Structure 1
């Protein structure tokens, strides 16, 4: 694909959400389903995934959401989102090297810890969660996105839109255009190219700042980029 994101129709894609039973995965799955995009909810247990898929179908009023184990989700989706906990990130991806070959993998995992002072970013030997994914999946088209959008707002379908920008990072421009189109499919969200994959760490880290803001001000803060049309 060489078209810019505006020319890409995301409703022609099937999106697999690894960790689709978790908070961030749930919110993304719901919004994409509501936008007319086919969604496969992935989980280690197919039954758990299908139970969540049933809930999402009912909530979004659609029938194009189904559940599957992670391997089936990765194999049958066109684009795959990694929304798993950081603690299981590497293990999950190592088990999916074959089904993810040639696929766009969107990593939205945030390595984050909490102590009595609040949230803080964890160091990652590879540089970032996305770069860890890149090393594990050398034949996949790894991008990074959706770190800084509120899972609460995504999952609340009574909110007609989610007012935020999503920074999309990656070295494959065609892949980042596809991911930007997926961001744009969520009402109120704008996907913006944010640089090469090596710049993912600071975007992942920003989530800790947003959580601190949310706790202090009792809001669901996101980010906006100025001076763009």
Structure 2
């Protein structure tokens, strides 16, 4: 049986902690990864830094629109304040593709408090803005970026994956597995409000108990039941 090649990935707004952590995990797993930024130079610098860590990896960096146009799956890792403007910027480049929205609607300084707004869930607003020709999947809200950056770990957390298209969700679950975590189908894009809100709770727990990055684990399932 012929094995399908790994899809090319673009991480839009990928120079922050979550973006570079995911880039490291996927590049190490053999994916071709392009890191995007509003500044082409910043994207290129992030890619160069990752290549020093993984010399054999296929990693590049450029502007957000440039990297979005080259990939089959686009992962959005931008702060909530830049969510809409970034989607508008890359809208033409992502048509017909899968867009993974990791955005959590945190409103500083009260990041430990859930703050509901009119555009919740954020991933649903992304689907509305990008249109029906884009399959938006929502994931990675409750993953500690610091754990992704480490050579060892994470290996014991779950990622809830939301989206209206089952095939697109499964494609993202495959990406979750490549990071060392376990992805679980969690229903339609409307359900992503649960993980978007949970992030503030986890941040509170981190601060209260002085934990270096809490995560999520769903009990009662075996690995073979996750897909």
Give structure 1 regions of 4+ aligned residues with deviation exceeding 6 angstroms: none
What corresponds to 2:94 in structure 1? 100
Q: Deviations over 1:64-93 (max 9, x none)?
A: 010011111111011000100100100010
Asked if 1:17 is matched to 2:43, the reply is: no
3-state SS, counterpart of residue 166 of structure 1: strand
Deviation at 1:103, TM superposition (A): 0.7
Task: Identify the structure with the greater strand proportion.
Answer: 1
Residues 205-224 of structure 1 aligned to structure 2 (within 5 Å): 205-219=197-211, 220-224=213-217
Deviation of 1:218 after TM superposition, in Å, equals 1.9
Question: Does the alignment pair 1:31 with 2:25?
Answer: yes
Pairing 1:1-229 to 2, within 5 Å after superposition: 12-115=6-109, 119-138=112-131, 139-157=133-151, 159-187=152-180, 189-219=181-211, 220-229=213-222
CA contact (8 A) 2:114 2:201 kept: no
User: Aligned partners of 1:60, 1:160: CA distance in 2, in Å?
Assistant: 17
Cα distance between partner residues in 1 of 2:202 and 2:54: 27
- Matches of 2:153 and 2:138, distance apart in 1: 25
Following superposition, the deviation at residue 114 of structure 1 comes to 3.8
Whole-angstrom distance in 2 between the partners of 1:74 and 1:121: 31
Q: Distance in 1 between matches of 2:118 and 2:22?
A: 28
- The answer (yes or no) to whether the contact 1:33–1:62 under 8 Å persists in 2 is no
Structure-2 separation of matches of 1:71 and 1:115:
30
**RMSD of aligned Cα (Å):** 1.7
Cα offset for 1:122? Answer: 3.0
What runs of 5+ residues in structure 1 fail to find an aligned partner? 1-7
Matches of 1:62 and 1:205, distance apart in 2? 38
Query: Retained in 2: the 8 A contact 1:154–1:162?
Result: no
Q: Distance in 2 between matches of 1:86 and 1:122?
A: 12
SS in 2 for 1:37: coil
Deviation at 1:160, TM superposition (A): 3.9
TM-score, length of structure 2 as denominator length: 0.91
Aligned pair count reads 219
- Aligned equivalents of 2:117 and 2:74: distance in 1? 22
> Helix, strand or coil for the counterpart of 1:12?
coil
Gaps of 5+ in 2: 223-227
